[in-house]
Structure 1
Amino acid sequence: MFVDAFSFSQSNHGIHHLLLSPSEGFSFQQRQSRFPSERQISSSLPFSATSSESTSTSTTASITYDGKTDHHTIAIPSFLTDGNDASYPSLLHKIHVLPILTADETSHLLDLARTYATENQCWDQQDSSRHVSYNTVDFAIEESDDISSYLGKDGIQFQDRIFGALSDAYGIDADDFSFLDLFCASYEAANDEEDGADEFEEERNTMDRLEFHRDGSLLSFTVLLSSPDDFEGGGTIFDALRDVVIEGDDSIIQSPGSIKPPKAGYATLHSGKLLHGGHVVTQGQRVVLVGFVDVDERNVKEGTLGDATKEWGRNDVRLFWNKRRLELLKQQRKGEDEQPKWIMRNWRYLPKNECRSYFSPNSSIPESILERMEQRADMEKIRYRRLVTEDKLLREILLPKDDRKDREASYDEGAWTEVTGIDFDGLTVLGEEYDEEE
């Protein structure tokens, strides 16, 4: 059971409701309070007020806390100013932090993970083969028989538990979920040579953070296995929360936009399409169980993800080229001997007689144009475009329940039976058991 961030007045639980507005600061509302409140939060988005693009939003984001289930719900701010207010916050705008494993289960799972990682040296070197874009320090759960067994149907039935939590949070049938990946990752603080690390430690190539990225899955989760006392820093950082300013070090959100569960065994559930990363661990080791969860296509609006991906790609190109443009602009304004050469590709199509629109290959670019180029190259504007695209995707990608197609019936292939009564061992056949007397 979870508490919706915008239906707290209908609940008889003691719930603390924090309102977060990038343009209006914060306000605090409390109803039937029986539980410790979250810290007050304010947000200041570093977008230029003189920008030709609208970079402010009046829609508030929120954090709620259900004391009975110890469930935190964080709704990221709205960035799509021309969108339909009724579509915000969608279910995918919300990040959920809640207990998923007991203390004993977490401790045992951490012991199993450390034993396997030590025996196989999984956490000693970064691996470039498991993930396409980033080197990581992790291992797939399926590689460990002990962990697979413990999490499986004969163990704590983790899949049913986590899929149930995701279903409650995002309004998708648990039967529509499947794992794209399930792995255990380690983040360790970088070794300080002054601390006298031994020769073995110096040979290790661990990671202390993970850069911003989007997952291949619509939904993702991270379960903290280490005690929060075992490390400093860390947490899952979200670009959409980076400008939230926190007062106090005991909030569920820490600057700069990092979500830190209060205890081991807590899961952080979120859309994998939110730009996120692993915040830097400055001391100790942070161990997490991470899952990428695929959603049956019957729940998804066709073409929505493709449109968002195209726009994100355009912004990546803008970012790359605008860095180069800014470097050239700085050189030009310094007035150094070796001036950058700006090639005007289409100058030949402009008027050849001197006039207001006249340019030649050797013309210097007017200051007004340089200023506009700088504005377009502003990193925060490019970031804002990404956040707008992300916001639009979160609103649109999930179909309303009434518009979702019926689930396709699964085909029963029958039972697979191992045959040992013929010449080739290990052969499997479909259907009834092989009769040796025939």
Structure 2
Amino acid sequence: MERGGYYRWVLMGAALCVKMVISIYQYSWFLFAFTINRQEGWSLEQLGLTFTVFILAATLVQPFSGLYADAAGPRRPCLMASFLVGAGMLAASYTTGPWELCLFYGLGGLGVGALNGISTATALKWFPRKRGLATGVVEFGFGAGTLLFNFFLQDSLELIGWRETFWYLSLAMAAMLLPLTLLYSYPPRDWERRMGGPARTSRAAAVQYRTARMAATPQWQIIYLGFTLIIATVLMFASHLKMIAQEFGITGSLFALVMVAFPLGNGFSRIVGGVASDYLGRERTMLLFFSLLGLCLLALGLFGGLPWLFVTVVFLAGLLGGAPFVIYAAVVGDYFGADNATANWGLTITGKAWAGLIAGWFSGWLVSLSGTYQTPLLVLALCCFVAAGLASPRVLKAPVPPGRGAAAVSAES
């Protein structure tokens, strides 16, 4: 098959499947944490630290895996990352204490992060005219993938325990990831020009910023802060959803509905947000989505004890909260070019590490201090409103290309 036209759709399908598999580490964690807490007696703060270590590993690795992939192609780093995903889960199944769990779950996080960033960059590079749509489809897998797995995992955790579940899961993940990543490749360097350039011609997307040059721009610094604040909201649900539901009395069939509602909304958010940003503009879409997400967090913190309101708001939070991964990735491609998109997005997504600290350890500390999940929910609502302000078209604007005729200039670091 020619490495072009149809092949990029094959790659999109492979990246979608990879994202679905690796999403288990992040979006099934609330099931793992609840079971480990009950079976081992390890505290929520200790388990929150494990989630934070995972997020740190999965994000801080991405600038390095991105540089490697941009220089040598995506296949080799993705194969190594697939091995780490399986090995981390396998080693975690043998842990005897929370510190070992932090170490091995974080090891798996290195593989998850590398695969996550390179899969997103694959969509950015192959679909320059529809970055929002392409990235949204790929990111749908990471947002909604656990919809296929969580019911099975919850039954497995109940029947055979978390250690055996981790053991079997490690083998299944490696078996699925290794053949899929063999398909990965990047387009030729002139692919964006051959495809007619980026759809949003008002952007300076033909200017190819290297990572150090990008990081020095005020636009990227605004992007980084806004991304960090808004992603903390999504990770709050990923790490604490079952405990939040338990506090508000959401159990049984209603919680089963929540387990469907959140990943389904989170997955579709990435497609809806990506398509909306292609047509409405990235900045306007973020302002709208983030403001509504802040209102959802306020409603949940104040009125979460109403069962159907809880389910509805969690679904809406998922429907709004997955979009930032897509829109910010597309903004990075729009503003700073596609040639170094893997490394540039890899640096940007390190904001998720700080978000993980807020959603994992800091939120657990707030709960232990106040005795309720209402406190971190209200704090995160404020984060949403700040992120919305930072994403406003009045604040966030494309960088001015250096010099005249900058569309043909390559900005070097």
TM-score if structure 1 supplies the norm length?
Answer: 0.26
Q: In proportion to residue count, which structure has more helix?
A: 2
The structure with the larger Rg is: 1
| Bigger share in strand | 1
TM-score (norm 2): 0.28
